[in-house]
């Protein structure tokens, strides 16, 4: 099992290219099940989660090819579609549940295992189920599988979501493209990945309006065609690498970044004393002067502060001047990185969904363990600022969401390497 070894103390200078969004690509890939014509995705990230989705789609009868070193994914579901999504594949990744809507829309029935992924909270499927039931699906849970079917196909409906769930919004959007009539999603998620999905589906012939707002309207069509679509920039990878020079000094330009993708995050960085400048090529990031200032952070659905950047932000605030408070409002178990940061000398108190961080003058390198995807990279960031050597184990989590971290950080001056243990 691989580990990442980081030696702290080096300032970072240079450029880091930001990949296409993992969460967008994992949503766009199941859209191939909606059409018999080819769907090609450009700017795809090279991640283990993408490989898992590829395996799942192939098991459902889709043809999936990686081109240009994995940067292009060419798909086709022209042949017979298998409607059984097996546990052995689905358990590896939460986003596997996004085949449910497309399968119901195309075939009228599906058997999909309950999904897995990082152990950071319940992330219940009931929002997906109740939304699809409003569209005429009959769904029963048996032996860990969702057995879903329709009587004569899905029908357009008013779908109010009790929570602005990204996954449920995406599942309903895809299902609604081939439903009879008009579907209106109320309290819809507003993330850039939702806008990207709507753009791709529209290229395929879907009729969608309101993406990026809390009310999305989809007029069902008889069939969808093929399309070629570039995956939107990964705002979480963007935010993560923006924190690298913030935490250990220097100046880094994140290529492909836009403030509109991370506006709430940039506001907190500004309050902490971090300069973010939009350039023709991306975002240039550096400390304004001296030590970072403590700030309070509360996660929220987009356009609020992303929960997927909370762990990384905590790493920054561990060495800030003063006391910071981080409130996690999305997932109930998302402070598992705190004890590992404390092994490096951080002073953190966690009570329920609130973490209090008292900044220290210097973190110290230590052996730490990654507990989930975002926690793993937060420990690497902390290692960049720590005195001595930090060894982050169980980095298989990292490979689910970040491609070639050691290469990207190493190219701007970080002392970092991957080792086999």
CA distance 391 to 379: 9
Q: Among the options 25, 118, 248, 318, which is catalytic?
A: 118
CA distance 374 to 402: 9
CA 22 vs. chain centroid, Å, equals: 6
Residue 330 assigned ligand-binding role: yes
Residue whose tokens read 């500004």: 270
Please measure the distance between the N-terminal and C-terminal CA atoms of the chain and give it in whole angstroms.
6
Contacts of 280 (CB under 8 A, 6+ apart): none
Residue whose tokens read 């100046």: 251
Neighbours of 289 (CB within 10 A): 7
Question: Closest Cα to residue 384, out of 342, 417, 341, 414?
Answer: 414
| Alpha-carbon torsion angle 88, 91, 94, 95, nearest 10 | 0
Residue 22 assigned ligand-binding role: yes
Question: Closest Cα to residue 167, out of 138, 193, 146?
Answer: 193
Burial state string for 369-379 with b = 16 or more CB within 10 A and e = fewer than 16: bbbbbbbbbbb
CA distance 28 to 45: 12
Check: CB of residue 152 under 8 Å from CB of residue 181: no
Question: Does the active-site annotation cover 118?
Answer: yes
Residue 23 assigned ligand-binding role: yes
Contacts of 400 (CB under 8 A, 6+ apart): 22, 47, 48, 49, 93, 373
| CA dihedral (117, 23, 247, 385) positive or negative | positive
Known binding site for phosphoenolpyruvate: residues?
Answer: 22-23
Known binding site for UDP-N-acetyl-alpha-D-glucosamine: residues?
Answer: 94, 308, 330
Known binding site: residues?
Answer: 22-23, 94, 308, 330
**Residues designated catalytic:** 118
């Amino acid at each position: 099992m691989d580990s990442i070894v980081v030696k702290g103390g080096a300032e970072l200078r240079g450029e880091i290219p930001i990949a296409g969004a993992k969460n967008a690509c994992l949503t766009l890939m199941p859209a191939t099940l909606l059409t018999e014509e080819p769907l090609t995705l450009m700017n795809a990230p090279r991640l283990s989660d993408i490989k898992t989705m590829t395996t799942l789609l192939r098991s459902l009868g889709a043809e999936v090819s990686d081109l240009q070193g994995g940067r292009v994914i060419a798909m086709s579901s022209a042949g017979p579609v298998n409607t059984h999504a097996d546990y052995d594949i689905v358990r590896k990744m939460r986003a596997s549940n996004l085949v449910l809507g497309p399968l119901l829309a195309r075939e009228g029935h599906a058997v999909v295992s309950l999904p897995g992924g990082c152990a950071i909270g319940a992330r219940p499927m009931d929002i997906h189920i109740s939304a699809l039931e409003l569209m005429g699906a009959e769904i029963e849970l048996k032996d860990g599988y969702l057995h879903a079917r329709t009587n004569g196909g899905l029908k357009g409906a008013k779908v109010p979501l009790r929570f602005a769930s990204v996954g449920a919004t995406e599942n309903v959007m895809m299902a609604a493209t081939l439903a009879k009539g008009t579907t209106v999603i109320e309290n819809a998620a507003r993330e850039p990945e939702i806008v990207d999905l709507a753009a791709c589906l529209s290229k395929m012939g879907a009729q969608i309006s309101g993406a990026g707002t809390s009310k999305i309207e989809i007029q069902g069509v008889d069939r969808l065609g093929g399309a070629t679509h570039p995956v939107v920039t990964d705002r979480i990878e963007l935010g993560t690498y923006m924190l690298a020079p913030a935490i250990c000094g220097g100046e880094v330009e994140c290529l492909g970044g836009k403030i509109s993708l991370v506006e709430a995050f940039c506001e907190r960085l500004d309050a902490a004393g971090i300069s973010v400048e939009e350039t023709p090529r991306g975002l240039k990031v550096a400390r304004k002067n001296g030590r970072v200032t403590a700030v309070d952070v509360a996660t929220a659905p987009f356009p609020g502060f992303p929960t997927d950047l909370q762990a990384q932000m905590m790493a920054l605030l561990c060495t800030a001047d003063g006391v910071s408070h981080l409130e996690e409002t999305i997932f109930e178990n998302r402070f598992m990185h705190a004890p590992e940061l404390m092994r490096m000398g951080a002073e953190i108190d966690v009570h329920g969904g609130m973490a209090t961080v008292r900044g220290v003058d210097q973190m110290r390198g230590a052996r730490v363990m990654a507990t989930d995807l975002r926690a793993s990279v937060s420990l690497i960031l902390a290692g960049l600022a720590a005195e001595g050597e930090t060894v982050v184990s169980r980095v298989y989590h990292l490979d689910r969401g970040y491609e070639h971290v050691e290469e990207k950080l190493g190219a701007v001056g970080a002392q970092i390497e991957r080792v086999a243990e």
